[in-house]
Amino acid sequence: MTNARITLVRDFTLGEVPRRLFGSFVEHMGRCVYTGIFEPGHPEADEKGFRQDVLKLVKELGPTVVRYPGGNFVSGYNWEDGVGPVDKRPRRLDGAWHTVESNAFGLHEFVDWSRLAGTEIMEAVNLGTRGVDAARELVEYSNHPGGTYLSDLRKQNGSAEPFDIKLWCLGNELDGPWQIGHKTAHEYGRLAQEAGKAMRFVDPDIELVAVGSSHSSMPTFGEWEHTVLTHAYDEVDYVSLHAYYQEDDGDVKSFLATAVDMDYFIESVVSTVDAVRAAGKHSKHVNLSFDEWNVWYQRGLDTDDQPHNVSKGWREHPRLIEDAYNVTDAIVVGTLLNSLLRHGDRVKIANQAQLVNVIAPIRSEENGPAWRQSIFWPFARMAELARGQILRASVDSDKYESAKFGDVDVVDVSATWDEDNGRVALFVANRGLDEPADVDVSLSGFVVGRVSRAEVLRVPNGKDRFATNTLEGGEQVGLSPLTGVTVTGSRLRFTLPALCWAVIEVEVTRA
């Protein structure tokens, strides 16, 4: 049996839960938009072509903010192609994913869909092939009330009211040689500075995200953020981070510990950002936007569903990277969410990539059903329950050795306290492959009442960590009640099965 002691102290908090941490991402890639959220003619589609079965699952998942329209796609995209009468919109080659873009879905459709989903929009501008002018014009088209050519064009295209988009990404992954319009840090830093300035001249209330490193092992990591922010610190509010993880060569112990890498990545970017703040004698803080993260199995380029498989020709919304997630992946996703929440004093936005079909918690079939993947569950529960204050957790857990990260805590946790509804929520993972974990939680400064929720990710068929939810097999992986949670005074005790993710919520008042 593994042992873990967790101490939570009522006044030992990290600040308010940034609700934008539970963001997602819709890119014009593969089947995320087409046959994902949008499929005119599907039996469940409404009159605008939005799939109601998918929308229902999106609402259940509960993302707060959705980034759009890319990703690599945005670096070659003309936003003007996606507005105006649909039959007049141009069909274009999308070089990022070697596909054909019909432009049947564009900005107005995304705004309408976001309203139905109840999600905030995070709009990315093209700083790959385009620049300052297209970026400021898109802000004017979206946010200016009227009386100018672009704002009146928006009205003519059906939206009398401005879209009022607050959150804007200044391009995507421009540090990556794979990006259309890849730039050096100096080139990008100056462009972000000037584009940001011009966008804010149009709407001073917007928030801007500068492109950071595409992952922490980029050769330019650190130097990129330093140079970009040295140019653009005054203009931007956030710098981005992207990271994707997978189980390599059966090294499940390192895979289960990937939140350690996310911790390292976040803490390194915070240090770099703050070094630029000090050197530039800036008073404001630039925060972090982890606007792409997930598990992603990057297979060989000759695999059918891989991007850039040019031998397949120019296809329209082909199946691309539709990973089927298993129980282990869901546990890793739970720990990545824990890492984000534990850094909620500086990470203010995070977007799981992507929302539907493309490395996504929700899957859908063309003219067929939609369903939840295993990774749906930690996201859905944390998006629902992580509210109020982030509690700093002091964890004393047994450890295990991993090849990539050395000694790692077997039990991983994050916790929140919502004084308004009188609840403490704990999100815990047992990374142990074989042993259950006995967890003893001290809640100092609280009077602990009833256990209002206790659920554990169900591992079907005994211990099959590779179980997935599929079209044929249905939703095998889901949540079950976690039994045996006991409260004694201000102590909470429970046993986690081997290899699991769980949520426990208790009623509390101030002691």
Q: Using CB under 6 A, count the residues that bind ligand AHR.
A: 10
Q: Whose Cβ is closer to ligand AHR: residue 56's or residue 308's?
A: 308
**Residue type (1 letter), 353:** A
Q: Of 64, 352, 354, 416, which lies in the binding site for ligand AHR, with binding defined by CB under 6 A?
A: 354
Map 224-239 to HEC letters: HHHHHHHHHCCCCCEE
Least distance to ligand AHR from the beta carbon of 31, Å?
A: 13
Helices (H), 212-322: 223-232, 252-256, 259-279
Q: Whose Cβ is closer to ligand AHR: residue 27's or residue 120's?
A: 27
Q: Of 353, 382, 410, 413, which lies in the binding site for ligand AHR, with binding defined by CB under 6 A?
A: 353
Instruction: Characterize 373-409 residue by residue with b for buried, 16 or more Cβ atoms within 10 angstroms of its Cβ, and e for exposed.
Output: bbbbbbbbbbbbbbbbbbbebeeebeebebeebeebb
Interface region with ligand AHR, contact rule CB under 6 A, candidates 48-56, 68-76, 137-145, 424-432: 68-76
- Residue 25, SS3? strand
Pairing of strands 423-430, 411-418: antiparallel
Cis-peptide into 334, omega within 30 deg = no
Least distance to ligand AHR from the beta carbon of 263, Å?
A: 21
Q: Whose Cβ is closer to ligand AHR: residue 304's or residue 401's?
A: 304
Q: CA distances (Å), 213 to each of 287, 342, 389, 501, in order?
A: 14, 21, 29, 29
Here the tokens at position 129 are 């092939």
- φ/ψ of residue 246, rounded to 5: -150, 165
Q: Whose Cβ is closer to ligand AHR: residue 354's or residue 364's?
A: 354
The residue from 140, 173, 207, 225 that is catalytic is 173
**Residue type (1 letter), 364:** S
Interface map 10-49 toward ligand AHR (x if CB under 6 A): -----------------x-x--------------------
Rounded to an integer, what is the distance from CA 265 to the centroid of its chain?
15
Interface region with ligand AHR, contact rule CB under 6 A, candidates 45-53, 64-72, 163-171, 466-474: 64-72
Question: Does residue 292 have an active-site annotation?
Answer: yes
Q: Looking only at residues 264 through 293 of this chain, which bind ligand AHR when binding is defined by CB under 6 A?
A: 292
Cα distance between residue 504 and residue 427, in whole Å: 7
Specify the DSSP element, H or E, that contains 493: strand 491-496
**Residue type (1 letter), 215:** H
Q: Which residue's Cβ lies closest to ligand AHR?
A: 71
Interface region with ligand AHR, contact rule CB under 6 A, candidates 47-55, 67-75, 311-319, 367-375: 67-75
- Residue 173, SS3? coil
Question: Does residue 322 have an active-site annotation?
Answer: no
Q: Whose Cβ is closer to ligand AHR: residue 82's or residue 388's?
A: 82
Q: CA distances (Å), 456 to each of 179, 495, 510, in order?
A: 40, 11, 27
Q: Of 18, 23, 62, 71, which lies in the binding site for ligand AHR, with binding defined by CB under 6 A?
A: 71
Q: Whose Cβ is closer to ligand AHR: residue 352's or residue 468's?
A: 352
Q: Whose Cβ is closer to ligand AHR: residue 321's or residue 448's?
A: 321
- Site for ligand AHR contains 72 (CB under 6 A): yes
Q: Of 2, 24, 172, 213, which lies in the binding site for ligand AHR, with binding defined by CB under 6 A?
A: 172
- Site for ligand AHR contains 173 (CB under 6 A): yes
Least distance to ligand AHR from the beta carbon of 245, Å?
A: 13
Binding-site ranges for ligand AHR (CB under 6 A): 27, 29, 70-72, 172-173, 292, 353-354
Residues catalogued as catalytic: 173, 292
